[in-house]
Amino acid sequence: MSNRIKARVIDWTALDAAQRAAVLNRPAQDNAAELLQTTQGIINEVRRGGDAALRAMTEKFDGAVLHNLQVSEAEFAAAEQALTATQLTALKRAIGNVQRFHEAQLSEPLRVETSPGVVCERHYRAIDAVGLYAPAGTAPLPSTVIMLAVPASIANCPTRVLCTPPRRDGSADPAVLVTARLCGIDKVFKIGGAQAVAAMAYGTESVPKTDKIYGPGNRWVTAAKMLVANDAQGAALDLPAGPSEVLVLADDRANAAFVAADLLAQAEHSADAQAILVTTSAALIERVQAELDRQTSQLSRENTLLKALEHARLILVKDLHTAFEVSNLYAPEHLIVQVDNARQWLPQIRNAGSVFLGPWTPETMGDYCSGTNHVLPTYGFARAYSGLSLVDFMKRMTVQELSSAGLEDLGPTAVTIAELEGLDAHANAVKLRMATLKQGAA
């Protein structure tokens, strides 16, 4: 076997608590303070300069000279001609599956009478304006357009804006444009990076201001989303994200070629992508190492794969219970379960963005066409955050209504608690109404 693959092999049982925590640490973001400062400068420049600043940055960062930031009807038409019938069919089928899964998430208003004459409800309202970001750095991602635009359409958000970086010739990727149209997105702008986030957060002469921004991106995009979300005049973000990551749980019966292929599928995203194997079998680790070497040499992104595999980890544990605990501690974006009777272990999984059960469920299917959403929490945020879903494009609004009898019955409880907190104005708002009811009854 070649010595090109640098993935670390780790015996979990030989580590103490501190060493185990270190093994599961994500790599620290380099120059984080400088990144935020530079990104804030980009945001400020877009706010000051609007479209002119966007055009200047597009030329500087993307090497494209644009006269119009918005994609024209002629560009949409040309994009449709650039795709084959097979490609169109694949995109439409993927959209259909994602649509079916997300439509099933629609909920009826909730209504509960918590006490006699006291009705509490929860209603859903679409977010007015949403900004969608489809990266095109190392590769254009029409699949991301599907994952963002389909739930935005189902939620019926009135304003839906998509930004995607242009190619050097000033055009947007045809697959991204076609997918946007298939998903009902008409406003597409050829803007990338932190400047796209700034444009959607604050608006420019061309780009509408949005209330929330969605989609993955590089460290600049992520930093920009965090900064504008912390500004009351900016826009909320969908969820925290970092480099893509996968953790594969495997027993001695797992197919080593499948395991290696799943690790490489995530590793090809970027040099800082995370690929981890946790297994009960030392023999499987050896087979996976050989497969990683063999498959890497046959793939087009070999250089990126080799860099990502330098910080990959192949962890040996004593049993599957330990394996699942390691996974829960790491909280992966993608968790692939390649063990016998995989479904029976599902209750053991507490922290994961999306789970892929069994040998015939590669993570690629979730990325593209199974129906689930591939915009997921990374960097350990799966401990507290969920992947993107329909509800992220909607607001949950509560409603309460009391009858006079309901107020007479429950009012004294509110008065007591208000006085307990020393908030007599709160208590007074109830007392006045109760007194009015008594006067009317007299």
By annotation, the residues acting in catalysis are: 333-334
Cα 238-232-159 angle, rounded to 5 deg = 55
CA separation for the pair 276, 113 (Å, rounded): 49
Q: Is there a contact between 170 and 178 (Cβ–Cβ < 8 Å)?
A: no
Q: Strand, coil or helix: what is 276?
A: strand
For residue 33, CA distances in Å to 29, 219, 226 come to 10, 12, 13
Burial class (CB in 10 A: 0-12, 13-18, 19+), 410: middle
CA separation for the pair 38, 28 (Å, rounded): 18
The continuous run of DSSP H or E covering 88 comes out as helix 85-103
How many residues does the structure list for the chain?
Answer: 442
Give me the amino acid identity at 29.
Q
Strand pairing class (159-163; 187-189): parallel
CA separation for the pair 379, 151 (Å, rounded): 24
The continuous run of DSSP H or E covering 366 comes out as helix 363-368
CA separation for the pair 160, 117 (Å, rounded): 41
Q: Output the six-digit token pair for 431.
A: 């007392």
CA separation for the pair 167, 164 (Å, rounded): 10
Q: Where are the alpha helices (DSSP H) in 185-319?
A: 193-202, 219-229, 256-267, 282-296, 302-309
Nearest of 387, 400, 370, 410 to residue 99 by alpha carbon: 370
Q: Is there a contact between 137 and 218 (Cβ–Cβ < 8 Å)?
A: yes
The continuous run of DSSP H or E covering 145 comes out as helix 142-155
